[in-house]
Amino acid sequence: MLALRLGTQISRDRLRAFKFGCGGSRRSLKVAVVGAVGGIGQPLALLLKQNPHISRLSLHDLRNTAGVAADLSHINSRATVCHFEGKDGLKKAMDKADIVVVPAGLPRKPGMKREDLVGVNASVACEVAHAASAVCPGALLALITNPINVIVPIVATILQAKGTYDPNRLFGVTSLDVVRSKAFIGDFLNVDPQTVDLPVIGGHTGRTILPILSQCQPTYKGTDEERKALIKRIQEAGTEVVNAKDGLGSATLSMAYAASHFVNSLIRGIKGSKDECIVECAYVDSDVTEAKFFATQLILGPQGIKENLGLPEMDDEEKQALESMLPLLKKSIENGIKLGMEMACQS
Ligand SMILES: NC(=O)c1ccc[n+]([C@@H]2O[C@H](COP(=O)([O-])OP(=O)(O)OC[C@H]3O[C@@H](n4cnc5c(N)ncnc54)[C@H](O)[C@@H]3O)[C@@H](O)[C@H]2O)c1
Ligand SMILES: O=C(O)C[C@H](O)C(=O)O
């Protein structure tokens, strides 16, 4: 009987170790999702609800968060789910969050460019920046809202004006460009896409998305024509989805996957395991080119960016592509900074 009891005790301990991760930190983490009822928000919240490191999942949207929260709360995973609505609810949703991920705002319709969304989505960025300054200045902010190239400088400028800007904690999520590159290259090389790795640098629209195929592992082997077609497909993949959805929005499921992966990397960084080096590409405050914001590979740590790995090695064509897209990116950034300065005074 005693042996049986001891045996039961041991397996319970083992079970607990399995649940919380052997030797890992049990620090409880709060993640807020702003735009949680949307096309990206709902599948993203579903994926985050399954993340064993999240203890509190806070959902915010303009309306209808109660139903999504009730639905998710019936899943028997660790995170407790809370929900808030409207402008007043934003600060409550983000209060003391460790990570705020923002898939809020208008998506494109066929015929639109991402930059066409600035007028509407800048206000979302503004609200998030003001709320972050007030209630979670130490949070890692992961912005999905388009146009990323402009939205990130807007938020950075507002946070700077509020005196709460930490460049290591602000990210424009460009993971979908990496996810797509891996998927398309995996198909082309006929290998498991999970084994493909490459940096995708620059920004998040058209020519500013620069996949560095020369650094791809396994080696990318294609003719010049195939290589050009692949780069074009990666750069226009968002439009491919917008056109296929035919007026019903843009990428949501692949974006939720990419964002969940990115948030998990931020969490692994916060938890600060000494044995692993967490590398992700994201669009961040940068001095690696003339553009003040630029996506490169980053090493993540407890305070966000631990190290910016800078520009990867590039072949001549990639160097040329970088030179030719920089003016475009710089123009978007200037626009973002200007809008951010105008919006910084709003409350
Ligand atoms: N970074 C990327 O790679 C990437 C990929 C796909 C989509 N996006 C962008 O993500 C955004 C959302 O796309 P979607 O398909 O989920 O759109 P959607 O319309 O389905 O959902 C957006 C949600 O945001 C909410 N919202 C709007 N204003 C808000 C505010 N002020 N506060 C809180 N919530 C607000 C809406 O109510 C809605 O539920 C778009 O701007 C889209 O272009 C970015
Ligand atoms: O293309 C869009 O408008 C959405 C997103 O930026 C994407 O790359 O899918």
Which letter does DSSP use for residue 167 in this model? Answer: G
DSSP symbols for 33-46: EETTTSTTHHHHHH
Residue 1 labelled as part of a binding site: no
The half-sphere exposure of 304 on its side-chain side, counting CA atoms within 13 A, is: 21
65 Cβ below 6 A of ligand 1: no
Minimal CA–CA distance to 101: which of 209, 175, 157?
175
Q: What is the pLDDT of residue 347?
A: 58
Ligand with the closest atom to the CA of 36: 1
Q: How far is CA 172 from the centre of its chain?
A: 6
Packing angle, helices 118-135 and 86-94, rounded to 10: 50
Q: What is the pLDDT of residue 75?
A: 98
d(CA 339, CA 182): 34
Minimal CA–CA distance to 103: which of 68, 79, 135?
68
Q: Whose CA is nearest to atom 3 of ligand 2?
A: 108
62 Cβ below 6 A of ligand 1: yes
Q: What is the pLDDT of residue 275?
A: 78
Q: What is the pLDDT of residue 20?
A: 33
Using CB atoms within 10 Å of the CB of residue 225, give its burial: 0 to 12 exposed, 13 to 18 middle, 19+ buried. Answer: exposed
199 Cβ below 6 A of ligand 1: no
Which of ligand 2's atoms lies nearest the C-alpha of 107?
3
Active site residue 204: yes
pLDDT per residue of the chain (347 residues) written in tens, 0 to 9: 333 333 333 333 333 332 333 334 557 899 999 999 999 999 999 999 999 999 999 999 999 999 999 999 999 999 999 999 998 899 999 999 999 999 999 999 999 999 999 999 999 999 999 999 999 999 999 999 999 999 999 999 999 999 999 999 999 999 999 999 999 999 999 999 999 999 999 999 999 999 999 999 999 989 999 999 999 999 999 999 999 999 999 999 999 999 999 999 999 999 987 778 999 999 999 999 999 999 999 999 999 999 999 999 999 999 999 999 999 999 999 999 999 999 998 75
Task: Indicate if ipTM > 0.90.
Answer: yes
Test site for ligand 1: of 146, 151, 171, 204, most ligand atoms within 8 A of the Cβ: 146
Of 53, 74, 204, 261, which residue is the catalytic one?
Answer: 204
Tell me, in angstroms, the distance from the centre of ligand 1 to residue 265's CA: 22
The model's pTM: 0.93
Q: What is the pLDDT of residue 273?
A: 75
Which of ligand 1's atoms lies nearest the C-alpha of 63?
37
Test site for ligand 1: of 250, 257, 260, most ligand atoms within 8 A of the Cβ: 250
34 Cβ below 6 A of ligand 1: yes
Q: Whose CA is nearest to atom 43 of ligand 1?
A: 107
Which of ligand 1's atoms lies nearest the C-alpha of 258?
3
Residue 308 labelled as part of a binding site: no
